[in-house]
Amino acid sequence: MRPLLAALALLLPLSLHAADKPQVVTSFSILADLTQAIGGKHIELVNLVGADEDAHVFEPSPENAKALLKADLIIANGLGFEPWLERLLDSSEARGTRIDASAGVLPLQLIEHGHSVPDPHAWQSLSNAEIYVRNIAKALSQLDPSNSADYTARRDAYLVRLQVLREQANRQLNSLSASQRKVVTSHDAFGYFGQAWQLQFIAPQGLSTSDEPSAAEVARLIRQLRSEGVRAVFVENIRDPRLIKQIADEAGAKVGGTLYSDALAASGPASTYLGMFQHNLDTLMAVLEP
């Protein structure tokens, strides 16, 4: 055990009495919102990677390690999204149950550096979000059976809202013609969205934002956008927008707005999962619709 974590472990007996509610830790902002929506007032939630923050390059703090030690339940995305969490859990005495909210999702496989890896961004499909919500509700009910009926009711209410949003997305996105289905974003975060509605998302960066594209890759992307007349180019909330702005300029396209990829907004409509999805849908449609 690292000295820091050993020191924190000594604090644990004190913190156990700090709250009667189940202590739940989520790895990033989207899971925090879904979990709070199901858990309501019954849980005490600590989230690790916050709004507008990039989970791919996250460096946990001593506070994060402390929260994990106190947790009764740790909710991660899984699919390789949080390598820093695996390292933190391996090196700590965290005793809480850990679940992957994505368990049961059919993962998209992509080739990165010659290896087949699962695409972690499963939350960008609304049918996957249903799986997330069911997994979270089940884990909360197992952790805290006395409030199980409430978790189930909140789950069902949330599933209805997801279904309503899905029908709207189907109506709007299915109306697009074949020539309006190419979209450029900063990194490969929208594979599941693209699969669900037959859009092709193209990005200068791969699955993880930590890989910087080469000048040759950027030049190739600009040539592709010019030759195919792609005009839907978007920045992401978790990324420096300069590269995308440069690509749009050189390809003769305009930046169509901000898409929320791996984190919610700190405030405003995109600060919840449902609001984020609605924002992304509206932003895409404003550019793609004739």
Please say which residue, 82 or 150, places its beta carbon nearer to Zn ion. Answer: 82
**Six token digits for residue 195:** 């699969």
Q: Return the C-alpha torsion angle 116, 117, 118, 119, nearest 10.
A: -110
Please say which residue, 36 or 124, places its beta carbon nearer to Zn ion. Answer: 124
Q: Is 189 in the site for Zn ion (CB under 5 A)?
A: yes
d(CA 216, CA 239): 20
Please say which residue, 150 or 262, places its beta carbon nearer to Zn ion. Answer: 262
Give the contacts of 222 (CB within 8 A, at least 6 positions apart).
Answer: 247, 250, 251
Stretch near Zn ion under the rule CB under 5 A, chosen from 34-42, 123-131, 184-192, 282-290: 184-192
Please say which residue, 23 or 208, places its beta carbon nearer to Zn ion. Answer: 208
Stretch near Zn ion under the rule CB under 5 A, chosen from 38-46, 110-118, 161-169, 182-190: 182-190
CB of 160 to Zn ion, least distance (A): 28
Are 246 and 235 in contact by the 8 Å Cβ rule? The answer is no
Site string for Zn ion, 222-261 (x = CB under 5 A): ----------------------------------------
Stretch near Zn ion under the rule CB under 5 A, chosen from 1-9, 219-227, 250-258, 262-270: 262-270
d(CA 217, CA 129): 32
Are 56 and 262 in contact by the 8 Å Cβ rule? The answer is yes
Q: Is 30 in the site for Zn ion (CB under 5 A)?
A: no
Stretch near Zn ion under the rule CB under 5 A, chosen from 126-134, 155-163, 183-191, 244-252: 183-191
CB of 144 to Zn ion, least distance (A): 31
Of 53, 150, 236, 262, the one binding Zn ion by CB under 5 A: 262
d(CA 254, CA 231): 7
CB of 109 to Zn ion, least distance (A): 16
Q: Is 53 in the site for Zn ion (CB under 5 A)?
A: no
Please say which residue, 173 or 189, places its beta carbon nearer to Zn ion. Answer: 189
Cα angle 140, 143, 50 (rounded to 5 degrees) comes to: 50
d(CA 173, CA 280): 12
- Helix-, strand-, coil-residue percentages of the chain, each rounded to 5: 50, 15, 35
Residues lying near Zn ion in the complex (CB under 5 A) are found at 189, 262
